[in-house]
Amino acid sequence: MIASRTTWLVKPDCMEKLLDLLKASQVELGKHVVRIYTPKYGPNLLVFEMTSESIQEHEKWWAAYSATPGAAAVFQKVSELVERRVGEEIWEVTEFR
């Protein structure tokens, strides 16, 4: 399993708007799991994490989503609420339960 994490520096007073946008923009995730991390204390960062079985499955899902009619509008709205993308990481995940 992999986890893809994108970190954004959110514009001042825009964190709630960005969270609302992401919640309202939910789509069919299939086997993917999305987690959003925001700081209790600290810088105005938001981490968007999506887990997938493989990089190929992850890329296939994003290609399909990006081709949907509403994706471009969501991407545009996100870009209006963030200062910049701070980083993007792909992690190998070992899970214990």
The pLDDT, as a whole number, for residue 52 is 95
- Alpha-carbon distance 4 to 93, whole Å? 10
Angle at 32 between CA 28 and CA 34, to 5 degrees: 90
The number of domains in the chain is: 1
Provide the pLDDT for residue 8.
Answer: 97
Token digits of residue 48: 């968007």
pLDDT reported for residue 53? 94
Which pLDDT value is given to residue 42? 85
Q: Which domain holds residue 7?
A: 2-92
Q: What is the mean pLDDT of each run of 10 residues along the chain (97 residues)?
A: 97 95 82 92 93 95 91 93 96 93
Q: What is the pLDDT of residue 29?
A: 79
Q: What pLDDT does residue 95 have?
A: 87
Task: Evaluate whether 33 touches 50 at the Cβ level (below 8 Å).
Answer: yes
Q: Which residues of 22-41 are buried (b: 16+ CB within 10 A; e: fewer)?
A: beeeeeeeeebeeeeeeeee
Q: Is residue 97 part of a domain?
A: no
Q: In the prediction, which pLDDT does 27 show?
A: 77
| pLDDT value of position 60 | 94
pTM score > 0.85 for this model? yes
Could you tell me the CATH number of the domain that includes residue 7?
A: 3.30.70.100
pLDDT confidence of residue 10: 97
Residue 23 lies in a domain: yes
